[in-house]
Structure 1
Amino acid sequence: MNKKEVLEIRKQFTPANCAITRICGCYVDHEKNKKMESRDAFLSLPEEEAFKYFDIFKKTMSGTMGRNMLNMEFPLDSEMPGGTQEFLLKLRDSKLEDDELLEEFYDKIIESYIYEENYYIVLIHAMYDIPGKSSDGIEMFDASDNVYEYLLCSICPVALSKPGLCYNAEDNRIQDRIRDWIVDKPDKGFLFPAFTDRNMDIHGVLYYTKKSEDLQEQMIETVLGAKLPMSADTQKETFQMLIEDTLGEEGDYEMVRNIHETLNEMIEEHKEEPEPLALDQTDMKKIFEKSGVPNENMESFDKNFEETAGEKASLLASNITEARKFNIETPDVIIKVNPERMDLVETRVVDGRQCLVIAVDDHIEVNGVNVRTLKSGKAGSSGGTEEPAEIENFQEI
């Protein structure tokens, strides 16, 4: 799925477009006991309650593709009779009216989801009448040929509200507030089947994780049985290892900067595309070559890539570089640079020591104090016309 397809499904979570037929829930305590279960026709819920659920469902389909929302495919064994895909299809086709299947589904999550506090499992069934689209992209609601029938699951932490005081209008006084168990935004969730090329794809599932580094591998294997992708954090670490292994001792600031600049240029060129920019071994090799990595270092690139990422792996550009910031770190100093002005920092040998040199053409602030303004004020108070001294910043590395 791409971001346009995700947005198309998200648009259903409003009163006007609602395609949800049924909602089921299971409240689980910190000891993994089922404390409450519910089954309702979604349209029978009170309006205010329905709006709260819409917020949960929208959040389950939000974030960055490849980081918070992950496309997963079912391996062949999961699609065999008795596999996880067959179970999910049965659950969907039951329209959540089979109590035995629901109990089995809850048990799978409770068995494999690692969470030490209370949580609420929400599961909905929906049927979306997919509108056709004209050649210019306009939706034609009277030209629909397909119905997308799906499940959306959200797993939400439930925490006790914070203690505090509140105003009692009946008694006209301030009193201790009653603490309630509050259902928070989802931590994990999934959409099945996937909505690929604006149609149902029973071979895929869209998985949501609030924290990119916490995928809950055991739950993915038990509940979905889908092929686990490389997490965003692992992709970034893999990319960093690839740079270090390829450049070796010859790696310097300028070369690493060039690689990130090339990546950012590609991201900028690709930003209007619905699909995230994925880079395979060939793509990554071209980036290194374009960034000026010496030919002798590139001789070992293919081997390094296969050892660190895998022979057929691909990395999402948005996961391995950050277009909004560029950090330079030493044990004692962190320098944050606007990615568009990485040229302001260069390396230079000063008094026999390797240093970072930062060009200063405008002004410097130290803890909010404009250094040049301060110097100008001092010059003026003595009646002189001395210009502020030029300042050079050298950071040893």
Structure 2
Amino acid sequence: MNEKEVGELRRRFRPEKNGITHIRGCYVNENREIVSQFNQPLGLMNQEESEMILGIIRRTLSGTLGKNLMDIEFATQQVVDGEEHKLLMTLKNSSLGDEEAVQAFFRRVIDSVDVEGNYLVLLARDSYDVPYRSRDGEKQDDASSEVYTYILCSVCPVKLTRPALSYYVHQNEFHNLKADWVVSAPELGFLFPAFDERSANLYGALYYSRDITESHEAFVDAVFHTAPPMPAAAQKETFQNILQGALAEDCRYEVVQAVQDQFCALIEEHRESKEAEPLKVSKGAVKCVLKSCGVSESHLESFDAKYDDEFGADAGLSPRNLVDTKQLEVRTPDVTIRVNPERSDLVETRTIDGARYILIRADEGVEVNGVNILI
């Protein structure tokens, strides 16, 4: 899925726009026991309550594609007779009305999810009459291309608030506000089936994780029976390790700087073009940057092999997962330097009288502990 498709679905989660008839859910305690279940019609809630619950489940479609939102692909055999895929289809096609399927799904989630403490599992099913878009992108509300039905699952921690002193306006008095249990934003969840090219793709799902360092492997296996996507934080660490291990003595400041600059330039170009499809860089593109920096052929071959082992030969990576676009960090055991990535040219490395130095050009505006100094 791309950003436009995700955004199109997100805009549906308003009381006047969605086709959700009811919300199903179960409240689970820290011992993985179901405390209660509910099947609540959305139409019987007041506007404030419906807006709040729609706002919570909408967060399952928030974050960045490739970081928080990741594509899940089903194998053909899974779609034909896979147990997990069949369960998801039953939930969707029955409008969450198949009680046996709902209970089986709740049990799968409870047995696999690794959220600490109490949490809420929410299930919503929506039916979207997808407006037709002409070739020039114009939306025609009176024409429909298809009806897209999907389910959205959100796993939300339920946390105890702290006691506080509250001011009651109508009484003009202060009173103690007792601690209470409140539903937090989703920790993980998914959309099924995927909304690819503004149409249902039964071979895909969109998986959400709030924490980009977590893969929730057991949950992904239980619900989709597939290997979880590598978390964004793990992608960054793995890529850094590949550069360091493969390039050896060629892993110089100038090389890492060039990779950072190239990725940042691609990200900015992609942002300005307003391209909907997620940005990906190939192994070949990275090798071209390394080669332009004078990395030896043997080290390029080593990079090639390590990349294939960790990501796969044809894997494209999101550059947003690999570099920090807001800063370039240079670190020693005792000193950390953070540089505006647009001014990485201010830093260089040099050996003087046998000692290695990091040099920073500082023409003006130098401060030490907030005090302007002269050099």
Shorter-chain TM-score bucket reads over 0.9
For residue 212 of structure 1, give the secondary structure of its aligned residue in structure 2: coil
Give the 5 Å matches for 1:210-289: 210-271=210-271, 272-289=274-291
| Alignment match, 2:51 | 51
Q: Distance in 2 between matches of 1:255 and 1:300?
A: 16
Q: Does the Cα contact within 8 Å between 1:75 and 1:227 map onto a contact in 2? A: no
Q: Distance in 1 between matches of 2:58 and 2:47?
A: 17
Q: Does the Cα contact within 8 Å between 2:215 and 2:229 map onto a contact in 1? A: no
Deviations 1:50-90 (A, max 9, x none): 11012112211111111100011013443242521111001
Q: For 2:18, give the aligned amino acid.
A: C
For residue 299 of structure 1, give the secondary structure of its aligned residue in structure 2: helix
| Alignment match, 2:72 | 72
Q: 2:322 aligns with which of 307, 320, 323?
A: 320
Give the 5 Å matches for 1:132-281: 132-168=132-168, 172-271=172-271, 272-281=274-283
Distance 1:303 1:226, change over 3 A: closer
Deviation at 1:151, TM superposition (A): 0.2
Q: Does the Cα contact within 8 Å between 1:22 and 1:95 map onto a contact in 2? A: no
Q: Distance in 2 between matches of 1:291 and 1:182?
A: 54
Q: Distance in 2 between matches of 1:91 and 1:261?
A: 47
Q: For 2:319, give the aligned amino acid.
A: A
| Alignment match, 1:346 | 348
| Alignment match, 2:100 | 100
Q: Distance in 2 between matches of 1:284 and 1:121?
A: 41
Deviations 1:350-376 (A, max 9, x none): 34211011001121112222224xxxx
Q: For 1:260, give the aligned amino acid.
A: Q
For residue 346 of structure 1, give the secondary structure of its aligned residue in structure 2: strand
Q: Does the Cα contact within 8 Å between 2:250 and 2:295 map onto a contact in 1? A: no
Q: Distance in 2 between matches of 1:170 and 1:16?
A: 32
Deviation at 1:169, TM superposition (A): 5.7
For residue 258 of structure 1, give the secondary structure of its aligned residue in structure 2: helix
Q: Does the Cα contact within 8 Å between 2:67 and 2:212 map onto a contact in 1? A: yes
Deviation at 1:21, TM superposition (A): 2.3
Deviation at 1:226, TM superposition (A): 3.7
Q: Which is worse superposed, 222-231 or 185-194?
A: 222-231
Q: Does the Cα contact within 8 Å between 1:258 and 1:292 map onto a contact in 2? A: no
Q: Distance in 1 between matches of 2:365 and 2:267?
A: 31
For residue 300 of structure 1, give the secondary structure of its aligned residue in structure 2: helix
Deviation at 1:13, TM superposition (A): 0.8
Q: Distance in 1 between matches of 2:96 and 2:248?
A: 56
Give the 5 Å matches for 1:356-371: 356-371=358-373
For residue 185 of structure 2, give the secondary structure of its aligned residue in structure 1: coil
For residue 30 of structure 2, give the secondary structure of its aligned residue in structure 1: coil
Q: Does the Cα contact within 8 Å between 2:243 and 2:303 map onto a contact in 1? A: no
The answer on 1:62 being equivalent to 2:62 is: yes
Q: Distance in 1 between matches of 2:158 and 2:76?
A: 36
Q: For 2:283, give the aligned amino acid.
A: Q
Q: Distance in 2 between matches of 1:299 and 1:188?
A: 38
Distance 1:45 1:250, change over 3 A: same
Alignment gaps of 5+ in structure 1: 373-390, 392-397
Q: Does the Cα contact within 8 Å between 1:73 and 1:227 map onto a contact in 2? A: no
Q: Which is worse superposed, 27-36 or 336-345?
A: 27-36
Q: For 2:290, give the aligned amino acid.
A: F
* Cα-Cα RMSD: 1.7
Q: Does the Cα contact within 8 Å between 1:279 and 1:314 map onto a contact in 2? A: yes
The answer on 1:81 being equivalent to 2:81 is: yes
Q: Distance in 2 between matches of 1:316 and 1:108?
A: 31
Deviations 1:214-254 (A, max 9, x none): 12110111022244222212211221122112311232111
Deviation at 1:172, TM superposition (A): 5.0
Larger radius of gyration: 1
Q: Distance in 1 between matches of 2:348 and 2:169?
A: 64
Deviations 1:276-303 (A, max 9, x none): 2222332332232234423342233322
Q: For 2:320, give the aligned amino acid.
A: S
For residue 274 of structure 1, give the secondary structure of its aligned residue in structure 2: coil
Q: 1:308 aligns with which of 301, 307, 310?
A: 310
Q: Which is worse superposed, 296-305 or 183-192?
A: 296-305
Q: For 1:66, give the aligned amino acid.
A: G
For residue 117 of structure 1, give the secondary structure of its aligned residue in structure 2: coil
Q: Distance in 2 between matches of 1:59 and 1:263?
A: 28
Alignment gaps of 5+ in structure 2: none
Percent identical across equivalent pairs?
Answer: 38
The alignment's TM-score, normalised by the length of structure 1, stands at 0.89
Q: Does the Cα contact within 8 Å between 1:220 and 1:226 map onto a contact in 2? A: yes
Q: Does the Cα contact within 8 Å between 1:194 and 1:205 map onto a contact in 2? A: yes
| Alignment match, 1:385 | none
For residue 315 of structure 1, give the secondary structure of its aligned residue in structure 2: coil
| Alignment match, 1:378 | none
Deviation at 1:173, TM superposition (A): 3.7
Q: Distance in 2 between matches of 1:170 and 1:268?
A: 52
Deviation at 1:156, TM superposition (A): 0.6
For residue 108 of structure 1, give the secondary structure of its aligned residue in structure 2: helix
